[in-house]
Structure 1
Amino acid sequence: MTTDIRTGTGPGTAWLPSGPAAPGSPRLFCLPNAGAGAAVYAGWKRHATGGVQICPIQLPGRAERFAEPPYDRAGELVDALLDAIGDRFTGEYALFGHSMGAAVAFELARRLETDGRTPPAHVFVSGRAAPHIVEPNRALRDLPLDAFIAELRRIGGTPEEILGERELMERLQVLLRADFAVNETYRCPVDEPIAAPLTVLGGDRDARAPVASLHAWQPLTTGPFEVRVYPGGHFYLNDRLAELVGLMSRFTRPPKETPEV
């Protein structure tokens, strides 16, 4: 059986470069921020607890999928993802996404529920304003290249050796602009909440996702809701991986209820 690189069909799906999780293992599926690939979650595995397996999702347009055109709308991206690996979302699992990945993770959770598939045990969104409010920040996807690079530098997270290489940035901007389009165009009205528990994470100095915009996620779930704010900017999570991955591991595999005797 061959593998279709765009749909990810076949035994070695391009969407899950780490391979299938061990049968019966609880899984934390991770969606990357704009411009990043599955490798951004490589260091998470050593911090997972309770047998939870970290399952980074590789989106088109990056790493070994660099030749594939990236998606620029969350709905179309989730359509393709579900077509390719929808059967992997079974048993005990949770979803995590940071920034752009938060929009994709939430839309994925919403679609899994509306399609009648096994819902996630928990959804974690990080570094993103609630998707029913219009962000006051200027859209990055349409900026001229110099201004685009300046904004990326201000947000942080992109190495200076990449930002300083104009020829490289001219090539990477196709992916980056598409990713920012996914994030900036995604909307979900408050009358379409998910039922899964929702935890919103963010930094107290993140100009792209101010603390008030994190609390604004509350109407988007009918389940338990929590906001956790940490010191730092947009990439606050890089300073506390062990703490955050440990937290998510616990909620990915919720404790079983003890039956009444």
Structure 2
Amino acid sequence: MKKIFLFCLPYAGGSSVIYTRWKPLLDSGIELVPLELAGRGRRINESFYENVDEAVNDLLPVVEPYLDKGQAAFFGYSMGSLIAFELIHRIREKHGQNPLHFFAAARMAPHIQRTEPPLHGMEPELFKTKIADLGGTPPQLFENSELMNLFLPLLRADFRLVETYAYAEKAEKLDCAMTVLAGKRDTMRETDVLDWRRHTTGAFTAHSFDGGHFFINDFQKEIVDILHASLGIRYSSLYA
């Protein structure tokens, strides 16, 4: 069996480090490739993306060397799902390749327009309140002014990227299996999540978790089990 390269993209304000906890859980046939976005982690000194296209242009050369070495799968979380979706389409347009599987988590389908007022232009205190309401950000972070001064510009830039995204109809649907994952207590409507099925001709599966927007923090093993089953791997090397 060819090696599977699992490219993982983070949520707004997140970095590739959120996926490192998966490494000991993943089967040896899957190579984890967390994609680091500009402006965070080891790329903290680089400028933020202005839009999704900039992110795709930046990440495409990182992914391309892997395409002839094995099979590709993509996992995106919230903002990462949106970037992954456009990146997969760019790969298809340029190389004629579809991934083995696309996992879209904590994100409504890309063609559905947001109805909430945009957050990225709010004044700082209101923006912080809205971010705190979303959950997922440690309370200690809000109490540390130095860390907040570093974190808020990144988060604001990421929200701008998501909130200014304008879906453009694709010439063709993706031709790959797709799995969507969502928290039962997230604010998204179930129908908006399930509408991802419109974007592929392949098999479509949906999973829900007893959590909010950041269910990834509490259900790591369950998510990895879904990855294994979806990618045709019966047992994780950890439990074999």
Normalising by structure 2, report the TM-score. 0.89
Residue pair 2:98, 2:174 contacting (<8 A) in 1 also: no
Give 1:202's aligned residue.
Answer: 182
Q: Is the 8 A contact 1:155 1:234 kept in 2?
A: yes
| Between 49-58 and 102-111, the greater mean CA deviation after superposition | 49-58
Match of 2:159 in 1: 180
* Aligned-partner Cα distance in 2 for 1:87–1:53: 14
**Equivalent residue, structure 1, for 2:34:** 56
Q: 2:31 and 2:110 mapped to 1: Cα distance?
A: 28
Deviation at 1:115, TM superposition (A): 1.4
Once residues 8 and 67 of structure 2 are traced to their aligned partners in structure 1, the CA distance between those partners, rounded to angstroms, is 12
Residues 136-147 of structure 1 correspond to what in structure 2 (within 5 A)? 136-147=115-126
Count how many residue pairs are aligned between Structure 1 and Structure 2.
Answer: 231
Alignment of 1:32 with 2:29, yes or no, is no
Mapped contact 2:183–2:213 kept (Cα < 8 A): yes
Which of the two has greater helix per residue? 2
Residues 50-74 of structure 1: per-residue CA shift (max 9 Å, x gap): 5212211111101221110011311
Letter in 1 for 2:191: A
Give the equivalent residue in structure 1 for 2:76: 97
Q: Which residue is 1:214 aligned to?
A: 193
Q: Structure 1 residue runs of 4+, over 4 Å off? A: 189-192
Aligned equivalent of 1:88: 66
| Deviation of 1:147 (Å) | 1.0
Equivalent position to 1:78, from 37, 56, 66: 56
- Quick one: structure 1 residues 253 and 54, their matched pair in 2 at CA, closer, same or farther if it must change by over 3 Å? farther
Amino acid across the alignment from 1:121: L
State the Cα RMSD in Å.
Answer: 1.9
